[in-house]
Homo-oligomer: A and B are copies of this chain.
Amino acid sequence: MRKVAILSYGLTKVEKHWRRSLRELFSDAAKKSLSGLNIPALDALIVGNMCASDLSDQNNIGALLADYIGITPSTAYRVEAACGSGGASFLAAYTSVASGMFDFVMTGGVEKLTDGVGGHTTLSLGKAADAEYELFYGSSFVSLNALLMNHYMNVFHASRDCFADLAVLMHRNGAKNPLAQLPFEITRETVLNSDKIADPITLYDCAPVGDGAAALVLCPFDEAHKYSDDFVEVAGVAGATDTLDVASRSDLLTLNSTLVAADKAYKMAKVTPKDIDVAEIHDTFTITGALSIEDLGFCEKGKFGKLISDGAFEPGGVVAINPSGGLKSRGHPVGATGAYQLSEIAMQLMGKADKMQVPDAEVGLAQNIGGSGASSFVTILRRAK
C-alpha cells in the first residue's frame, strides 16, 4: 500500500453563513487549501456532506463542487455517513491515493445547516438515527444521549459536574481558535444553569448548529516533499460500525465502533493511546465526548470524571483533547466536521496552530462519529520530520 501524505488544508470559520451558498462555502475552503501549492491538476474530489439534499435541494455535489472550483472533468463523488461523512470521505480519498489510482486528491466536507427553515434542520439531522426504530417514535439525538448520560452517572457514580467541566475546557480551548463558532469562555455554572434540552443535558452540553467547509489535499507520501516543506504522514486510517439504533447494543456505555476503529488505526500506525499527543474527538454532547475519550483508550471506562478534574485532557496531561474547541466550541458543521478535525490535527503537527498549539506534537488522532456511534472513523497522523 502506497504511503499517503496530507499536503495542505483549508478551513472556513464555522458560523451562520447566510450570505454564502453551499458551493461558495466549499470553494472558500478549497481555495485556501490550494493557496501557494504548486501541484499538478487534482485527479479527484471526494467530499463529505449529509444534509444538502434536504436543506439545499442539491445532490450530486461532487460534480457540482468540482465544476465550481474549476477541476472538471476530474472524478468526483460525495461520501455520506451522517456526522461521520468527513471521516468517511477521508478514508475513501486515502484508499484512492494509497491504491495508485489517483495521485492528487482533494477531500473534505461542507455543510449548510442555517438554510433549513422551521424544524427542517432538526428533522434532517434526525435522519442519522434509525428512521423506523427511533425517529418514527419521536426519539431525537439529544433525547437518546440524555438517557446515556443518566445511565453513565448511575452505573459509574459519576457527577453531573464532570460533563460540565468538559464543556468548560472545550470553550477555554475554542476561545483561542479564530475559526470557532463560539469562541468564548464559560464556567461550570454556565453549563449547569443553561436551558434544559433533555434532562440532564442542558444547552451548553450540546454542540451548536453551524455552517462550514474544510478541504484537504492528499498526495503520495514519497512525492510530498516536492510540493511542500510542511506535510503530514497518514499513519493509520480505519472505520467501523455498530447498530444504528442505540437500544440494540449490548453495552450502552461503550461506543463499539470507536473501540474497533481505534484498535485498527493504532495497529496500522504501530502506536498506542500513550503515543498520541493531541486528539480531536467527536463531542456532539458532553456525554459523547466522555465515552469517546474512554473508548479511544485515553482513560479507563468510568474514570472520565476523575481524570478531567485532574487536568488529564489539557496540554501536558494524558493527551491534549480538542485544542480547536471541539464540536462544542469550534462548532459542528456535520458533514464537514471530520475534515475540520483532520485539518486541525495536521495544523498541530505542522506547528501552525498558533495560540492553540500543543508543544512538540508529533502524533495526533482524529475521531469522527456518524449517528449515536453507528459509525466511527479514526485517523492517526504523524509529523513527517
* Residues of chain B lying within 8 A (CB to CB) of residue A100: 1, 98-99
* CB atoms of B64 and A374 under 8 A apart: yes
Count this chain's copies in the assembly. 2
* Residues of chain B lying within 8 A (CB to CB) of residue A73: 240-242, 256-257, 260
The answer, yes or no, to whether A212 is at the interface (CB within 8 Å) is no
Closest chain B CB from A214 CB (angstroms):
17
Q: Which B residue's beta carbon lies closest to that of A124?
A: B53
**Contact flags A58-84 to B (C-beta < 8 A → 1, else 0):** 111011101100001111111111101
**Set B1, B94, B96, B127: member contacting A59, Cβ < 8 A:** B127
* Residues of chain B lying within 8 A (CB to CB) of residue A131: 56-58
Residues of A358-384 contacting chain B, CB below 8 A: 370-371, 374-375
* CB atoms of A63 and B370 under 8 A apart: yes
**Set B63, B80, B84, B135: member contacting A242, Cβ < 8 A:** B63
> Majority SS of interface residues in chain A?
mixed
* CB atoms of B132 and A241 under 8 A apart: no
A59/B80 contact (C-beta < 8 A), A95-B99, A244-B67 known: yes
* Residues of chain B lying within 8 A (CB to CB) of residue A80: 59-60, 62, 77-80
* CB atoms of A242 and B67 under 8 A apart: yes
The answer, yes or no, to whether A168 is at the interface (CB within 8 Å) is no
The answer, yes or no, to whether A159 is at the interface (CB within 8 Å) is no
* CB atoms of A82 and B99 under 8 A apart: no
* Residues of chain B lying within 8 A (CB to CB) of residue A190: none
Per the bound structure, the CA–CA distance linking A74 and B91 in Å amounts to: 14
* Residues of chain B lying within 8 A (CB to CB) of residue A370: 60, 63
Q: Which B residue's beta carbon lies closest to that of A85?
A: B77
The answer, yes or no, to whether A130 is at the interface (CB within 8 Å) is yes
A72/B243 contact (C-beta < 8 A), A2-B99, A82-B59, A95-B96 known: yes
A371/B1 contact (C-beta < 8 A), A76-B239, A239-B77 known: no
The answer, yes or no, to whether A92 is at the interface (CB within 8 Å) is yes
* CB atoms of A53 and B99 under 8 A apart: no
The answer, yes or no, to whether A21 is at the interface (CB within 8 Å) is yes
Residues of A200-222 contacting chain B, CB below 8 A: none
* Residues of chain B lying within 8 A (CB to CB) of residue A75: 91, 238-241, 261
The answer, yes or no, to whether A345 is at the interface (CB within 8 Å) is no
* Residues of chain B lying within 8 A (CB to CB) of residue A155: none
Closest chain B CB from A339 CB (angstroms):
14
The answer, yes or no, to whether A185 is at the interface (CB within 8 Å) is no
Per the bound structure, the CA–CA distance linking A96 and B166 in Å amounts to: 37
Per the bound structure, the CA–CA distance linking A375 and B94 in Å amounts to: 21
Q: List 8 A-B contacts (CB under 8 A).
A: A59-B80, A60-B127, A63-B370, A64-B244, A72-B242, A72-B243, A74-B241, A77-B79
Those 8 A-B pairs whose CB atoms lie nearest each other, nearest first: A99-B99, A75-B239, A60-B82, A77-B88, A63-B374, A98-B99, A57-B131, A1-B100
